[in-house]
Structure formats: C-alpha cells, structure tokens
Structure 1
C-alpha cells in the first residue's frame, strides 16, 4: 500500500515537472509580429491608360477604366442629362459616380478642354489619316485659314487653330504654346516642328490674356503711316484681324480719323508695350497742321468698305456713322441696301442719299449652309443668334437646310432674313 502511494506521488511530480517546463518554454519564446493587413483599394489597381475622349466610350470601355456597372450607368445617364456630350473636364468632374481620386488619376489622359469657357479649345475630331504637307519654314502667326487648309487641315481644324492663336493674343509665342493647340496631334506636330519659325520655349513672363504678347518674329518691318494703314496693312504687321479692326475703330472713331502722336498709338488697348516698342522705329506720322477737307468720290466707294471717317465726310453724325459701321460688322457685310436703311439710330434721309450714289459689293460677304455654319458665327449674327442653339441641335440629326428651317417654325420675315446669308 505504501509502495502504491509512493508511485502515485512520483507520477504526479513527473507530470507537474512537464507542465512547468512547457510553460517556461512558451513564455520564453520571442514575440512574433502580427502579419500586416493590406486592403485593396480602387487606386491600387494599375491601369494601362492612354489618351481618350470620354464622349466616345461605351459601357464596356468605361468598365475597363475601373468603374462598376452601377457607376458606368450613372456616367452614361449624366452624359444624356448634359446634352449627350461632355464639353469639358470641369463638367465631367461633376459626375457624382466619378470620385475625386479617380478623376485625378484619369485627368491627364482626358481629351477635353479644361472648362466650357475655353472656347479656343473647341473640340474637333481630327483625321490623322489625312496627310499633312509642308515644304518650307513658316511662322504660324502669319498663316490664314486657307493656308492651314492647303497644308492638309480641314476647314474646322483651321478655324480652331486661328481661334487658339487669337486666344493667346494673336501670336503662338513659342513652339511650346503651338504644341498645346488642342487639335494638332502629336504626329502632326512632329512633322511641322522642324519648319516652325518660333522660339522653343515661351518667355517666363508670358501670360494668357486677351492682349497680344509681342515677340521678335520674322516680319520684315518697313516705315509706315498708321493713319493710312488699312485692315490688311495692320494684319501685315502681325496683328490678328480682330485686333486690326480694333485699331482702325480706335483711330477712326475715338480719335476722329487720325493718330496725332505716338502716345495715341501707345494707348490703343490691343497694342502691347512690347509690340509698340518693336514698331515705334518704323512709325512715320504725317499730320497736317492745316487739315483740308478730303474729297471722296462716293460713287466709287463700296458700302461694305466705307469707313467711319468717310461717313462723317458725307455728312452723317458720329451716332449714325457708328451705328451703320457697327451693324455692318455684326452682319459681316450688307447683302442689300435695304439693310442699311433698317439700321437703328441713323439719319435715314441722308443714308438714302448715300446708298443711291454708292455701290454695294456683296462678293466677299460670308455665307454658309445651316449644317456647315460655324457655331460662333451663328451665335453672334443678328439674324441667327436667337435660333442658334436650335440650329446646332437639329443639324446633329438633319443635313437638309429646308428641314431645319421648317423645324425652327420662324415667322416668314425672319426666315427670309436668314436666307440672305445662306448658300
């Protein structure tokens, strides 16, 4: 019995010893780090992105950009709400289905202007398959729309290039700025770049503004009298058509026909200090101290070219002359003499006498079909601007002018006015 108790105690002691040794081993081992937990987020997915136009993407392509079916549905519905087309990055960013992080990741690849106010970035579909031809060096500041078209650009592309140039103030300033023109593809820029007569980089103090930023260009200046310079003359000095018209109106209306001093020229808002400095050595002001009345043969003066100064000479007061010139400018030219008589704030008796003497040349007045007319022209022309949005909408579906005119449901007299400027 005693031996049995002894063995029980011995077995118990052995078991206790094993437990103690196991506990000691457990407490003495090194602390192991808990494995780090990583969460997969939308931004961790790597996409092989390239430039894209969000207006051309279908549901499947949006899905490939990392959006869920629900998000894709929301994006396409939003596209319908804004008129069937995204017009800017700013507008696309407002879509609630596109998070701020996702938009940031995609932004640099989106082929849209930054915002709807940047009209110079108006989007045109480029046709890169059309060959661009260039054989000699050129200054893009000096090219007209027809010259861009001769290179191989479409009419709309040429207009867009000129809009962008005007936005910069009438000069591309540098190859760097020229390359930013929205409708010039990388491929076409590579072809043109060796022939472009512009500095590579824009100056550090260059700012985008409505005023011209003058640069030393390839223009060969000669002595000129700013009081006798016409539209083409000012354009030949490197100004855009819009700037040239502003200079002529400033001279003929504000200064009553003549720059009296260099200071008068310097004050013109579209002539920057840099441009004035560039031109000043060539300016030769011929001012008559005893001005004589100019004798004009009005039977040879085209009513679409007659100047403010000549209207004053004929006897119109400044208000009548200004109204006639202003209305003509809005119309881009008169197409019949009745339009001149319909101008507001004119001396009708005196104007009736003028139009009975002076001829009217309508050969240079621009006319378009409703399907081809530039949006800017439609929205600014007095006869079209109130129907411009409807025309732009209808012509996305219909290509026949008669059908579009019928849908507009205009009063007969309004339709007849439109037809004066339609091909």
Structure 2
C-alpha cells in the first residue's frame, strides 16, 4: 500500500483510523445510519449504547435515539456472543440465521441444567405470542408471570434464558422502551418479531457472512479477520471464505507483521496524515472503539487495561480517548442540573491543559445529550 509510506504508522495512527471508520471524527446523519453502517453496536447497557450513538450523530439528543427504538427503525436483540446489540431491523433475521445455531450450542449445557426442553420452548413461545399479538408489547415481568402460571419456572435465570431463546428464533424482539422517556433506559417491551419487523432482508449464509464482514471491516477497520471471527463467533474457515469474496473492496494494511483491513476511504487518509491527533472524546463504557476487537492493545496499553475493566469482570468503564488512544476513564455523579462529569487520567500528572479543556467540552456535550 503506497499510502502507508507517506506516514509512519503507529498504534495511535491505527487508533485514529478506527475513530474515522467508526464515525467518531465526522459522524452520521441519524441513529439509523449509524447503526446500519456499524452493523451492530454493543448495547448490554442501554444508556451507554445511546451515548455511543450520540457521539456518532452530531447534534443528536437522547430523545432522538429513543425515538428510533420507539419507531422500530433501530432494534435491540441478542444477535451474537449472547450479548445485546443495537442492530438495523431489516438485517436482524439474516444475522440470526447465521449466528443462532452456534449460540444455542454454546449454552446447551446450561439449558440442560435449567431443565429447558423443546416442549418448554414451544409452550412459552405460544404463551408469549398470544400475549403480545396486536398489543404494544409486554414487559419481561409480565411474561414471567404468564410463564409461571403455566408451570414454567422463571427463577435462577431460567426465565431470561427462555426469552433469549424466543428472541434467538425470531419469534420475539425487544421493541419500544417501557414506561415514560425519563424511565426508559432500563427495560423495553417484548413484541412479536413479525409484527415489529414486517420486512426483512433475505440473505443466504455465505452471502450474509460476506455482507457482515464487509460492513464490519468498513466500520471498524483497521481490523483483522480474527477480530471479526471473535466479534461474531462465526467459524474462521467461513470468515476466510467470505473475505475472498470481498477483499477487492478493501485495502490491506500490514502493521506489526499482521494484516489489517479497512475501507479505501479510510485508507486514503494516510495520504495526507490521519486527522484526530488532538481529538479528545468522552466515550461510553462498552463502546465499539474498544470492545469491538479481540486485541485491544492497539488503543489501550495493556498496563492500563485493569483500569478500564477492573478485575477483568466484563464491565467496561467510560473512557477518555485522546489522539486515538485510551488515556483515562470518567464518571458522572449527580442528576439534572447538579450532574458533573469527573475525569480520571491514567498519567499521574493528569490530562494536559489542552486535553482538559477539550474534555470539559465533551463533558458538556454529554450532559446536553442526556437532557435533550
């Protein structure tokens, strides 16, 4: 790649290329465009997912992202890794068609422990679909009560596993937020998949994997095939085959003897220098900028990993990103007008004066987003 000779590629440059790919140096026009371009966005913590979208859609507020969920133009489900993501509604069915079988196998032993059999799944499916048919939907608690009344135990996580199975099979999907907008960051109503998503794109397995891989590498690149295989849990042999079908639409960047792939548009930034060297961002916990890769050391020095994921417990703190590198964490305390955002830099001397001023602007942007 001739462009790489015009700039010395370093981990920070790789990080800034990822910022560009993910819309964090420019942005998308709407939540729908953001989620569609990204393919899927981590959404285990819904408030974090909303801010992840907000950082990528300039001028947006919480209400605009909530509206996308309320209208069904963005949906939230478990498309891969047993983890909730925001996904484009028209793509969810074909993504599940690729990932569900392996996801179900991965939890088969747990389902045997919980005594979940095919007859139980069929019974809960019929009960749930009868309840939500033609209605705005039902809360998790409402469905649990219906299951319990029919003799289906929901304790010890059995209930949530049953709902997960119904969503994996595209019988149910999470729909509009439950309650008022001010209380909508915790739960969503469960609705009938076919009613909430009346039109789905149809892709076969090979075509679907190729489409998913292309979208991932364009929105997350520079990234490796291993990154995608981990992100989706799709077998590496199928990922390699899909890559052969789409590699002409991508650019290869060799860094540290490893092949990374990215879009031609992002690669072209290497010609004149990748922007973002002075960009400071307040990213949410679980953001795709860090979580979307199996190797996170390019943007987060290993010696600081425990500061972002204390004890390796899977809970990612909010991150301060400067020039393409994670340089600290941040937290919010208080509510409403008393809310404040507090940075905690990794460096003992803290953020530089310029970075501190930039972060203060980010903190104000975040607080405005949450109130809009």
Question: Is the TM value for this pair above 0.5?
Answer: no
Larger radius of gyration: 1
Identify the TM-score tier after normalising by the shorter chain.
Answer: under 0.3
Q: Which has the higher contact order (CA 8 A, sep 6+)?
A: 2
Which of the pair is proportionally richer in strand? 2
